[in-house]
Amino acid sequence: MNISAIAMFFVFVIITLGITWWAAKHTKTRSDFYAAGRSIGGLQNGLAIAGDFMSAATFLGVTALVYSTGMDGMLFVIGGTIGWAVVLLLVAERLRNLGQYTFSDVVAFRLERKPVRVMSAIGTLAVAIPYLLAQMVGAGALIQSLFHLPYNLAVVLVGVLMTLYVTLGGMLATTWIQTIKAVLLLTGGTIISVGVMAMLNFDFAALVTAAVDVHPKGSAIMAPGVLFTDPITIISIGLAFVFGTAGLPHVLMRFFTVPDARQARRSVAYAIGFIGYFQSLIFIIGLGAVVYVSNNPEFLTADGGLIGGSNMAAIHLSKVIGGDLFLGFISAVAFATILAVVSGLTLSAAAAVSHDLYANVICDGDSDRKTELRISRITTLVIGLTTMALAILLEGENVAVLALIALAIAASVNFPVMFLSMYWSRFTTRGALAGGYSGLATALVLVMLGPTVWVSLLGFEKPVYPYAYPTLFAMLANLICAYWFSVSDKSQRALAEAESFAAQWIQSEIGPVQEKL
């Protein structure tokens, strides 16, 4: 039992509950609950965006990937940063100029509100729920090995805290928790990397040499192709990062917490700085773990694997760097990371139900504020209880497939639909629905028929679809259907939609100007 880890985590929980209590007093309107009253500045929002993206999956998962495969991890390191350039250059300003609380606002700007809202809400939930579940199951296992708590208790702890943060404190509490966690994670990552480099006299070449010497695959880790060899897989991973990032609903929601498009632009620029910096540390941490953890019997099981699995590489390395005290700090940071990310995801799922489905589809855009917020809170509670129950049922299962589904759907459903609605004047409601649903169906079917579900879970001998990642084909399905069903749409509605593009285009470029006059 690591006392310092528990103490530090306890301090984090006390502080975040304090923030939630403070935020609850300032959360009265819809704009408070969904968008923190649009009061967040560019720098803080940049940190919070970075926090949303730097999940335990990045910190522990990509480190583990570099630890076990070396250069193949580079594909993730670059992709995780470059996706943000897409957000900066194509999405951020327009999103803020056109929307209110969720990205569905943008899609529904000139298309027929009800059907496209339903589809975007499904797209949001199809990303948020599997991603949330993947994080919860991972969290349970991680906390089990870090804090020696029983798995079920760990899941319940995460679920209860997340539900408290979101129902009481809304976006304001979620943003502050995310900000604090981002600072902690950046600090922790910096200390580990500096520690590794200090032991090697700050010589990067020495790190590479030492890693090649120690790693069982030897010089193969300094070449691509240990894990990913075929072009379809590599392109699918690339596409999932480059366009999936701009389709993550909980990240997109963050752009509505700033006052205007200018601050939205600055937030992404700051976020790119923090994320790029962190991604470049990941590679050092992964190689550092090869050098200092993989040959240290203290961290190895009898058959030569890492205690707690390869996801623990960064955690074990922190013990080498700074002993039990620093191990405690990094463990607490990992726990905080999970809590902050699941809170953001839950909030975006709740907003999809209360803002998109209840307020705009059921109430036709004319909902009572109190009822809408109550529905949002009830949804949060339901999501909290459901994911806790599911996470307990899924104990010990391989949940990598869930994270895979989430990013693939973000790239092949949400992003193309949002992008086309922003940039293509002839995009119609019919095209949006055909594209969105075909992207969703293709992604789901290909994952089911792929090696992860068809072979590993269902036990068939050969996968029907040979690749683990569905993004390339699912995105193509969406784009082809969206194009074909839009250009062939000769209805009155389609004509009116094409005509109202001009007004949307002007507002996307310069914002709601009428308000400024």
Q: What's the min distance (Å) between Cβ of 480 and other proteins?
A: 20
CA nearest neighbour of 248 among 341, 355, 310, 377 = 341
Q: Say if CB 196 and CB 317 are below 8 A apart.
A: yes
What is the C-alpha separation between 379 and 357, in angstroms, rounded?
12
Binding mask 350-389 for other proteins (x = CB under 8 A): ----------------------------------------
In the bound state with other proteins, the residue whose beta carbon lies nearer, of 33 and 501, is 501
3-state secondary structure of 511: coil
Q: What's the min distance (Å) between Cβ of 340 and other proteins?
A: 24
- Binding flag, residue 140, other proteins (CB under 8 A): no
Of the ranges 150-158, 273-281, 370-378, 477-485, which one interacts with other proteins (CB under 8 A)? 273-281
Under 8 Å CB-to-CB from 188, ≥6 apart: which residues?
318, 329, 330, 333
In the bound state with other proteins, the residue whose beta carbon lies nearer, of 238 and 247, is 238
Q: How far apart, in Å, are the Cα atoms of 303 and each of 307, 309, 314, 485?
A: 10, 12, 20, 56
Of the ranges 69-77, 302-310, 339-347, 426-434, which one interacts with other proteins (CB under 8 A)? 69-77
Tokens of 104: 């569905």
CA angle 273, 44, 88 (to 5 degrees): 45
| Among positions 31, 209, 295, 296, the unique one binding other proteins when judged by CB under 8 A | 209
| Among positions 266, 316, 355, 430, the unique one binding other proteins when judged by CB under 8 A | 266
Q: What's the min distance (Å) between Cβ of 72 and other proteins?
A: 8
Q: What's the min distance (Å) between Cβ of 45 and other proteins?
A: 14
| Among positions 13, 24, 118, 269, the unique one binding other proteins when judged by CB under 8 A | 269
CA nearest neighbour of 330 among 319, 338, 320, 341 = 319
- Binding flag, residue 495, other proteins (CB under 8 A): no
- Binding flag, residue 41, other proteins (CB under 8 A): no
- Binding flag, residue 242, other proteins (CB under 8 A): yes
Of the ranges 31-39, 72-80, 160-168, 332-340, which one interacts with other proteins (CB under 8 A)? 72-80
User: What are the residues facing 306 on neighbouring strands?
Assistant: 300
**Position 329: which residue type?**
F
- Binding flag, residue 124, other proteins (CB under 8 A): no
| Among positions 229, 371, 398, 491, the unique one binding other proteins when judged by CB under 8 A | 229
Q: What's the min distance (Å) between Cβ of 301 and other proteins?
A: 30
- Binding flag, residue 225, other proteins (CB under 8 A): yes
Under 8 Å CB-to-CB from 148, ≥6 apart: which residues?
1
Please report which residue ranges of 352-491 form alpha helices under DSSP H. 369-393, 400-409, 415-423, 429-449, 471-487
- Binding flag, residue 160, other proteins (CB under 8 A): no
In the bound state with other proteins, the residue whose beta carbon lies nearer, of 307 and 510, is 510
Exposure class string for 335-354: b at 16+ Cβ within 10 A, else e: bbbbbbbbbbbbbbbbbbbb
- Binding flag, residue 86, other proteins (CB under 8 A): yes
- Binding flag, residue 230, other proteins (CB under 8 A): yes
Tokens of 80: 């995780």
CA nearest neighbour of 180 among 399, 6, 335, 1 = 335
What is the C-alpha separation between 268 and 270, in angstroms, rounded?
5
- Binding flag, residue 54, other proteins (CB under 8 A): no
What is residue 305's DSSP assignment? Answer: P
In the bound state with other proteins, the residue whose beta carbon lies nearer, of 237 and 332, is 237
- Binding flag, residue 247, other proteins (CB under 8 A): no
Q: In what helix (H) or strand (E) does residue 255 lie, and over which residues does it extend?
A: none
CA angle 417, 473, 508 (to 5 degrees): 20
What is the C-alpha separation between 478 and 321, in angstroms, rounded?
48
What is the C-alpha separation between 318 and 298, in angstroms, rounded?
13
- Binding flag, residue 302, other proteins (CB under 8 A): no
| Among positions 201, 461, 490, 514, the unique one binding other proteins when judged by CB under 8 A | 514
Packed helices 313-351 and 151-199: angle between N→C axes, nearest 10 degrees: 130
| Among positions 265, 381, 444, 465, the unique one binding other proteins when judged by CB under 8 A | 265
- Binding flag, residue 517, other proteins (CB under 8 A): yes
| Among positions 46, 276, 431, 439, the unique one binding other proteins when judged by CB under 8 A | 276
Q: Say if CB 475 and CB 243 are below 8 A apart.
A: yes
CA nearest neighbour of 122 among 401, 430, 440 = 440
Q: Say if CB 69 and CB 221 are below 8 A apart.
A: yes
Q: What's the min distance (Å) between Cβ of 434 and other proteins?
A: 26
- Binding flag, residue 462, other proteins (CB under 8 A): no
- Binding flag, residue 500, other proteins (CB under 8 A): yes
Q: Could you list the residues that contact other proteins (CB under 8 A)?
A: 71-72, 74-75, 77-79, 81-82, 84-86, 88-90, 204-205, 208-209, 219, 222-225, 228-231, 234-235, 238, 242, 262, 265-266, 269, 272-273, 276, 279-280, 283, 499-500, 502-503, 506, 509-510, 513-514, 516-517
